[in-house]
Amino acid sequence: MLREVILIESDQNVAELLKTLINARGHQVTTIDSGKQALNLIQTHHYDLAIVGDELSDIDGIGMIIKLRQESSQLPIVFVSKQWRDGLVYKQLTRDLRVDLIVHRPIKAALFGAQIEDIFVHGKGGAKTHFDMTGADDSVYKTLQANYIKVLPDRLMRLQNAIDLTKQFPQDHATLLEAIRLAHNLKGTAASCGFGILGESAGWLEKALDALKNQQLKLNETAWEEIGLIVKLVQANVESLTQDPTARVDKRAFATIDSTGAAASLAAADNTAPQDNFDVFDASASVRVLVVAQKEALAASGFRPRFANNQAGLNVQVLVCHDRDEALEKANKLTLDAVLIDIQVDAPGPSLNLARDLRNLPGYDSLPVAFLSTSTQEKYVEDSTHAGASLLFESSEKADLIEDAIDYLINARQGGRPRILIVDDDQDFVKIVASALGQEGMLVKSLDDATNIVQSMQNFRPDLVLLDVLMPIVSGFDVCRMIRSQPALADIPIFFLTAQTGLETRLAAFEAGADDYLPKPVARVELLTRVKLRLERSRMLKERADKDVLTGLLSRRAFMQELTELAEESKRNGLIYSISLLDIDHFKSVNDTYGHFAGDRVLATFGQLLRKRFRVEDVRGRWGGEEFVVAFRHISRHTAAGAMQRALEEFCAIEFAGDHDEKFHASFSAGLVSYPEDGETIEDLLKGADNRLYQAKKQGRNRIVFK
């Protein structure tokens, strides 16, 4: 459905970006840099959304929002801020002015588009904000509460059994620890669901059990009498909730984590999903994979769209479409994490072009792609590698092999949506947090124990870890220290989420290596704000350290780190890989003839071409000056040469403008080698690639030398 958006922004670069993102989703945008002109338009024309920048030509952004609210109480508003402000400002914007969404520059293209669509779908005029729960739809909370109430009797029974065993066998320390853990979980999750009184009574029970542990009062009847009274209080609160859920709801707790009606949204997409299934994550937190294929090809393989968990434990939503236009429409409206395309051998062009078109969309230059083909001949492998396909396999393969390919594509994604790993044994609490993070476009995976934490992190590659302190088998502090001991994982931000709030616990968390600490029940606004800030800071630090500013490719140091990992993996598994050194031809002449700004444009364009071509798992870097380097994972130099020849032809066709608007073209030369045929070590391979690059220049440039 087409929506009309008024974009009020004085920064032309930001305005152009936002307009492009919204237009790409099929909506119409009117751009204005003056608050006065915008108000005049709103008085005479209906708009479905207003996007307001920080500073306009005649008024500041917040002042403009105040005037918009005076003009219309129902118009949805998005505020694009240049800086982070005091918490009171956000409270005023979301509660008093009912701003639907606050985003901060730099804009994340795919995430911003998904958030705009979310506003169009879920409500107007502050009905659904990302910073405050005031005015939220009460039915959402009733759904969350009703689902949690259904599992409360089982939670209470397990807690009661653990307490009874502790009293019966006081020498068994493990049963007491289990009782403390269950009371701890009940305290945090009940309060986060809005049942503050139950959470408070569970907190008293946890303290009493903890005192029993610390003082070792194994036979103290007074202590057990106190615990018995508190257990009866917890039971009474549970019974009152199961009989009349609204009677004991603490409305103040609605400022904490909310539910997004996950079960209902999933059921709408898949009529096999039960309406009250509390064990299903929010659809917004799932991985979305698009399969573009003819109906006959899918029917032959037995494959069908569905919701399922992949091998990494992520909730995967597989969508199907049958033509290019539909594929691009879905890519613009949704955030896709991988694409599988059926390619026709007799006419491969449309499918190859679709892959390139998808990778050219904002935020999709690292989108993993695979092709289904009736032939895996070398020519098609070269074409698909150039177009960015991670896999090319025969379309007659069985459905389970297609699903294995989807798992591979998901794991290959880098630089997509933020990945959050939650390590907490209380899965009810995990679902609440996952739902809130999923609303913000993040991918969430959970573990209920941390025995295989290192392997899980290596497979999932999270951008941030949320960790509970009190867990079975291994404590959260030990898990944090274990992560910090791994060089490849040492820089990943770690947050503790726990109902233990004492000073000693907080200090222990930071001493173990945590970056932040949040007490349960977790305030939604605080969780999202801290997570976003930490993710953005981590991203900026990593990009400053690892990325070349001009081209967006890896720096030489960061490239060598990834190349070393690729080389070790290949040697360990007996697999090949290829390395290419590339040099832009006559680059000094470009600078001298057309100007250094023109030279920078050539470098930036070449970097962009390398990012959008080849596969997401291939490693690209700027070697220095006008030299670049690409490592092709697990393909021969012959295949890589064919893909690079297509990239060379594409680069040669680009028309550049000099500093005085002169028109010119550029080319590059490259040398290619493969492991182990051309060398056993990285040093030998790089020397071989450099020698072949020299041969390419000697032979007249504008060519690939690979033998």
Q: What is the pLDDT of residues 134-158, one digit of tens each?
A: 333 344 445 556 777 888 888 888 8
Burial of 479-501, coded b for 16+ CB within 10 Å and e otherwise, reads bbebbbeeeebeebbbbbbbbbe
**Across 62-76, 155-169, 513-527, least confident range:** 513-527
**Across 31-45, 117-131, 216-230, 268-282, least confident range:** 268-282
Inter-CA distances, 165 with 75, 145, 471, Å: 58, 30, 19
Q: What is the pLDDT of residues 655-684, one digit of tens each?
A: 999 988 899 999 999 999 999 999 999 999
Q: What is the pLDDT of residues 450-504, one digit of tens each?
A: 778 888 887 778 889 998 887 767 778 888 888 888 887 888 899 888 776 677 7
| Partners of 307 in the β-ladder | 317
Residue 617 binned pLDDT confidence (cut-offs 50, 70, 90): confident
Q: How far apart are CA 479 and CA 421, in angstroms?
A: 13
Q: Is a pLDDT exceeding 50 seen at residue 284?
A: no
DSSP 417-476: S-EEEEE-S-HHHHHHHHHHHHHTT-EEEEES--TTHHHHHHHH--SEEEE-SS-SSS-H
* Closest-CA residue to 180 (of 148, 143, 205, 201): 205
Q: What is the pLDDT of residues 533-558, one digit of tens each?
A: 888 788 777 777 788 888 889 999 98
Single-letter residue type at 186: L
DSSP 106-156: SP-HHHHHHHHHHHHHH-STTSS-SS--TT--HHHHHHHHHHHHHHHHHHH
Helix or strand or coil: residue 529? helix
pLDDT at 318 (0 to 100): 79
Q: How far apart are CA 253 and CA 481, in angstroms?
A: 33
Angle, CA of 294, 298 and 304, to the nearest 5°: 125
Q: What is the pLDDT of residues 414-448, one digit of tens each?
A: 556 788 899 888 877 887 788 778 767 677 888 88
> What 8-state DSSP symbol labels residue 334?
S
- Token reading at 26: 């099929």
DSSP 385-421: HHHTEEEEEETTS-HHHHHHHHHHHHHH--SSS-EEE
Residue 379 binned pLDDT confidence (cut-offs 50, 70, 90): low
Q: How far apart are CA 682 and CA 688, in angstroms?
A: 10
Mean pLDDT of 184-213: 78
For 563-653, where are the E strands, in sequence order? 577-584, 619-624, 627-633
Question: Tokens 């870890």 sit at which residue?
Answer: 465
Helix or strand or coil: residue 69? helix
* Positive or negative: CA dihedral 622, 624, 628, 632: negative
Question: Phi and psi (nearest 5°) for 634?
Answer: 60, 30
pLDDT at 19 (0 to 100): 87
> Going from the N-terminus, what domains does the chain have, and what CATH number goes with each?
4-122 (3.40.50.2300), 138-255 (1.20.120.160), 286-412 (3.40.50.2300), 419-543 (3.40.50.2300), 556-705 (3.30.70.270)
> What 8-state DSSP symbol labels residue 282?
P
> What 8-state DSSP symbol labels residue 680?
S
Q: How many CB atoms lie within 10 A of CB 78?
A: 23
pLDDT at 560 (0 to 100): 93
Q: Is a pLDDT exceeding 80 seen at residue 592?
A: yes
Top mean pLDDT of 308-317, 419-428, 631-640 is at: 631-640
What are the CB-based long-range contacts (under 8 Å, 24+) for 507-513? 508/477, 509/469, 509/476, 509/477, 509/480, 512/476, 512/477, 512/478, 512/480, 512/481, 512/484, 513/480, 513/481, 513/483, 513/484
Contact assessment for residue 186 and residue 159, using Cβ atoms and an 8 Å cutoff: yes
Contact assessment for residue 579 and residue 630, using Cβ atoms and an 8 Å cutoff: yes
Inter-CA distances, 162 with 158, 226, 474, 675, Å: 6, 16, 19, 58
pLDDT at 643 (0 to 100): 87
Q: How far apart are the first and last CA of the chain?
A: 55
Q: Is a pLDDT exceeding 80 seen at residue 195?
A: no
- Token reading at 161: 């059994």
- Token reading at 285: 């937190």
pLDDT at 261 (0 to 100): 31
Residue 340 binned pLDDT confidence (cut-offs 50, 70, 90): confident
Single-letter residue type at 37: Q
Q: Is a pLDDT exceeding 70 seen at residue 244?
A: no
Q: Is a pLDDT exceeding 50 seen at residue 241?
A: yes
